[in-house]
Amino acid sequence: MAAKFKADSRRWLTLEYRPLELEKQIRDFWKNNKVAERLEKLREKSNFGVLGYVEGPPTLNGVPHVGHARGRVMKDLRYRWKSMQGYSVPFWAGWDCQGLPVELEVERRLGVKNKRELLEKVGEERFIAECKKTLMKYWREWFNADQKLGVFINQDKAYWTYRDEYIEREWRYLKRAWEQGLLGEGYYVVAYCPHCQTSLSNAEVGLGYEEVEDPSLYFRLKVSNAENEYFLVWTTMPFTIVTDMMLAVHPETEYAKVRVGNETLILVKQRVEAVMQKLQVENYKVTETVSGKELEGVKYEYPFKDSVPRQKELDQQPFVHTVVCEDFVDVSTATGVVHLAPGNGEDDFLAAQKRNVPIYVPFDDECRFTADAGEFAGLFARDADSKVVDILRKKGLLLSVETVRHEYPTCWRSHHKLIWLARREYFLWTNRVNERVVEAAEKVKYFYESPKNRFLSFLKEGKPWCISRERVWGAPLPIWVCQDCEHKTLVGSKKELLEKALEPPSEDFELHKPWVDRLTLKCDKCGGEMKREPFVLDTWHNSGACPFARFTDEEFEKYVPVDFLTEGIDQTRGWANTLLLEHVILTGKAEAPYKAFLYQGLAQDAKGRKMSKSLGNVLEANAVLEKQSADVFRFYTLWKCSPVDTINFDLQELRKRPYQVLGTLYHLHRFFMQNAEYDNFNPKAHTLQWARENKALKPADNWLLSRLQKTVKSYTEKLERCEFNLATAELEEFVVDVVSRQYVPMIRRDLWSDDPQTLQRRLAVYATLWQTLKTLVLLFNPITPFLSEFMHQKVYRELDHSSPESVNFKDWPQPEEALRDTKLEQAFGTLQTCVALVYSARQSAQLKRRWPLQKAVVTAPEQVQDALKSLEDVFLELANVKQVEYAEKLAAFDEKEWASASEGNLQVLLHTRRNESLLGEGLMRDLARRVQSLRKERGFTPTDIMEAVHLAELDQESMKLVEPYLAEMAELVRTKKVYLHKNRAEVKADWHEYKLDNKKVFVAIS
């Protein structure tokens, strides 16, 4: 038997959608044909326009998980889409290489416990070599994930933040800051582990919260120049009273003066009752209330003046040992009066810095009090707690001391309680350019309100930026200090450094510790020897320098400010911030280095829990993509929720609807290809215009084309607004509802025929589908690049050899307004409602859809009638009725004769009585259905033509009814002839039994 269709299409388009195989093919295709490289060149040459881009560099200290993969998908989506629109985008990779996370990873691998051990046992040179090795290990993971995902980022042009050429340009940022007086030395409070003798990053502090025991101390401080009046204060860190400088109250809250015996205590009003109960004071009376503001400037007697002589000196300075107002004071716990120790707390420190109060930090590297702390000298900070309590008790200032258990940060390695210490550090005085920073940030487009507000409110805090770190693997701070005259100089480049160096560097010199530390310079001022400040730079400064550091001057001019960036919401205080600060300092302008910034929500597991190693619920991108299709993954991550929302990643869900949508798109192509190839459809000859000229287009085709234009427009707008979930939903609806569910059933019968008389009509349908599916494939390309490329190769280039070599070289579709027909769209909406009503009425009367009925009556307003009349052919076909009548007003009807269904002002009546001819046709279609399923079961393809179909053991009456329709049935099921038998014995065949309305029927085919 000759097949209707050529074998070709089946070779390309397998029966099933098998994305993993298809994606492998396409990956190879891209690689072998250098598609990504050629795409970049093509858009560069076309000179259409440039959109700057700079890669937010992933830190190479871990493997990418699905959340990272989601981010990469959004970046790639934007790149492919904008490229198709014609823009040239420098989509070049970048890697964040330095910093504490990398160091810790290496320390762990080398089995080193702390910094001191590291320096003694391993040495800086080897340590740095190990850091570089680690980078490459993780880089491979990221590279593989990108390959699997189909991210077209250019790896050859990647920047690496540890390389000399990058660091040099980072130094130029610092030089600009130095020249403007925005870089300098100062103190800053950092979390410090006394055991490991190192400061910890914020992230590390977050790792180590534990429940610990601390003293809970209520004490009082006497108001100067007042009889028996005291502030009531609470603390869990008694030792900080040694470094106490001020008391803070909340300015807008009421404070109470409480009379107890002949003494007065001052505390926040709302806590009086609770605190008195706590202190077991029964007889007390609130004598007066004052606002926090009124307490400002009140001086108090610092209790340790005798024990700590230095404090006695400081007492003379403005603000010292007085009350200040601060918004951060929490009035809902304790007494609402907090004591400030600027050397031991960040808020305290900032409060002091604001008022130029000196920072008193009498500690050595091991957190022991120095000689400057008088009686406390030599004591480890936390060991001073009991001595402090003793002195307070002796002076009669102690009210209560007990033990509390509470959550407190500890060192995640040694589990020691952390201490907050002000240390000498280098700062960018970003507070001085804060206005410009905020102004710049306000001009940026964020797409969604909430991350925007979050970012702006963070920026408005305008804190100085501490950029120095006492670590090893980082870009060195390029400041040298004269050992004689203390003159400082900032070196702006490697060249400058080598020129000024007193001795030539070793051959393996690079811009890292320990090499840079070995170079000493000659002082310009006094000719003395200059040594480098031993710090490295905050790794955030390192990555924040990239818009300038990763480009040449020329490229920087061309690409920065970049057009669009997207990173996780956790980068609000990270990269988004440092990019902005450094750019404002570098340029001196109120300008961000990015015009738009999309913050992405983070990823959690299917149950909404944070992904963590301890829970064992981390979904690694490479492991997931080993088994899951990249296209389905990409579609899923974009479709599931808004990009700013947290995504609860569920592999089960991934395999359902997203797979179905892509599967449907795939099968639509298969359907199209099978038919179009058979009829020798030629897209160049059989264009839409040709079809229109030959009047071969029907309303269904025009409707589909109109809906397509609407989709192109709306989808593009949604991409523009970064509403990726709504954009993909638009595609989903078009593929599943519009094309597959609605259009295909309307044209199916036209295509089923192979009559040469109706060839023109079939070609017109192919022209419509060609245009529609081809456009869809382009729209899908940024989301599902593999499937789009596959279809481009196997369908569009197959039928049209002039098509470009890759789908990526095509242009983005523009909506054609001329094809839009909103009236027709409305009419089809009406049609679909009516058809649904017919189905509903059929169901209520138990009339199968395949049974033709004589008549339907539609009751509806005139406009609706007109719409339906214009589409009457389609209605009759879908409703499977012979004729339709219209009425404007609902008439009474006989329920025995009519089935009805209604919705709003629409009603449909179906004539339920069937004459012999209708019964016969219905029966024929029932039988045909059985034959079709048998055909499928027996492995016939849709196009095989069978020799004979045998039906047996129908009752007398049924045989008589179906007889006139056997020829039509033969055509319908594609057989040469249909034979009716009374008895199975009449012919030797492989009989199959079917039930048909509770009667048996036997079917055989050959």
Partner RNA sequence: GGGCCGGUGGCUCAGCAUGGCUAGAGCGUUCGGCUGAUAACCGAAAGGUCGAGAGUUCAAAUCUCUCCCGGCCCA
Q: How far is CA 522 from CA 495, 527, 845, 862, in A?
A: 15, 5, 102, 96
398 versus 581: smaller Cβ distance to RNA: 581
**398 vs 837, beta carbon nearer RNA:** 837
CB 180, CB 585: distance < 8 Å: yes
Nearest to RNA of 164, 252 (CB atom): 252
Q: 267, 336 in Cβ contact below 8 A?
A: yes
Residue 664's φ and ψ, nearest 5 degrees, are -65, -40
Please indicate whether residue 96 is annotated as part of the active site: yes
In the complex, minimum distance from the CB of residue 837 to RNA, in angstroms, rounded to a whole number: 9
From the list 287, 333, 753, 863, which residue makes contact with RNA (rule: CB under 7 A)?
333
- For the chain, how many residues are written? 1006
75 phi, psi to nearest 5 deg: -65, -45
CA distance 411 to 418: 6
Q: From 260-268, 653-661, 865-873, 984-992, give the range in contact with RNA by CB under 7 A.
A: 653-661
Our finding on whether 604 is near RNA (CB under 7 A) is: yes
Q: Which residue among 81, 95, 473, 540 is the active-site one?
A: 540
Q: How far apart are the first and last CA of the chain?
A: 11
Q: Which is nearer to RNA, 57 or 374 (CB)?
A: 57
Q: Cβ distance 238 to 217 under 8 Å?
A: yes
Q: From the CB of 426, what's the least distance to RNA, in Å?
A: 18
Q: In the complex with RNA, which residue's Cβ is closer, 370 or 642?
A: 642
Do residues 648 and 608 touch, judged by C-beta distance below 8 A?
yes
Closer to RNA at the Cβ: 287 or 453? 453
Site for RNA in 455-484 (CB under 7 A): 457
Which residue of 133, 443, 610, 960 would you call a contact of RNA, by CB under 7 A?
Answer: 610
DSSP-H helix ranges across 721-783: 724-732, 744-752, 759-780
Instruction: Please give the Cα distance from 927 to 996 (Å, whole number).
Output: 8
Q: Does 753 bind RNA (CB under 7 A)?
A: no
- 570 binding RNA? (CB under 7 A): yes
Comparison of 314 and 996: residue with beta carbon closer to RNA: 996
Per CB under 7 A, contacts with RNA among 665-704 are 667-668, 670-671, 674
Instruction: Find the catalytic residue in 96, 385, 563, 701.
Output: 96
Q: Is 613 a catalytic residue?
A: yes
Report the alpha-carbon distance of residue 245 to residue 349 in Å, rounded.
Answer: 10
Query: Which residues, 914 to 943, sit near RNA by CB under 7 A?
Result: 925, 929, 932-936, 940-942
Q: Which 3 state secondary structure label does DSSP give 48?
A: coil
Residue type, 809: F
Q: Does the footprint of RNA cover residue 642 (CB under 7 A)?
A: yes
Site for RNA in 205-244 (CB under 7 A): 205-206, 209
Shortest spacing between CB 833 and RNA, in angstroms: 9
Q: Does the annotation mark 718 as catalytic?
A: no
**Per CB under 7 A, which of residues 341..380 are in contact with RNA?**
346-347
Report 767-796 residues binding RNA (CB under 7 A).
none
- At residue 955's C-alpha, the angle toward residues 952 and 956, to 5°, is 110
Active site annotation includes 898 = no
Task: Between 277 and 457, name the residue whose CB sits nearer to RNA.
Answer: 457
> Under a CB-based contact definition with an 8 Å cutoff, are residues 879 and 852 in contact?
no
Could you tell me how many residues of this chain bind RNA (CB under 7 A)?
72
Residues of this chain, 836-895, that bind RNA according to CB under 7 A: 836, 839-840, 843, 848-850
Q: Which amino acid is at 8?
A: D
For position 59 contacting RNA by CB under 7 A, the verdict is no
Q: What are phi and psi of 617, to 5 degrees?
A: -110, 20
For the bound state, the minimum distance from the C-beta of residue 725 to RNA, rounded and expressed in Å, comes to 8
- Of the listed 41, 610, 823, 869, which one is catalytic? 610
In angstroms, the CA 664 to CA 670 distance is 10
List, in sequence order, the alpha helices (H) in 111-163. 115-117, 124-149
137 binds RNA (CB under 7 A): no
**Binding of RNA at residue 660 (CB under 7 A)?**
yes
Q: Is 848 a catalytic residue?
A: no
Instruction: Please state, in angstroms and rounded to a whole number, the distance separating the CA atoms of residues 567 and 579.
Output: 12
Helix axes 822-844, 862-870, angle to 10 degrees: 90
Q: Return the amino acid letter for 92.
A: W
* CB of 811 or CB of 990, closer to RNA: 990
Residue 93 CB contacts under 8 Å (≥ 6 apart), including other chains: 55, 153, 154, 155, 157, 158, 159
* Strands of the 338-340 sheet, one edge to the other: 323-325, 246-249, 338-340
Give min distance, CB of 1005 to RNA, in A. Answer: 8
User: Residue 665: left (phi > 0), alpha (psi -120 to 50), or beta?
Assistant: alpha
- Judged by CB under 7 A, the stretch of 392-400, 567-575, 704-712, 884-892 that binds RNA is 567-575
Find the part of the chain contacting RNA (CB under 7 A) among 63-71, 80-88, 329-337, 368-376: 329-337
Token pair 């750019």 is found at: 583
Binding to RNA by residue 33, rule CB under 7 A?
Answer: no
202 forms part of the interface with RNA (CB under 7 A): yes
Tokens, residue 177? 């800051």
**The binder of RNA chosen from 26, 350, 569, 824 (CB under 7 A):** 569
CB of 669 to RNA, least distance (A): 8
At its nearest, how many Å lie between RNA and the CB of residue 735? 8
Q: Does residue 744 touch RNA according to CB under 7 A? A: yes
Nearer to RNA, 29 or 458 (CB): 458
Determine the Cα–Cα distance for residues 203 and 236; give it in Å rounded to an integer.
23
Catalytic residues: 57, 96, 540, 571, 575, 610, 613
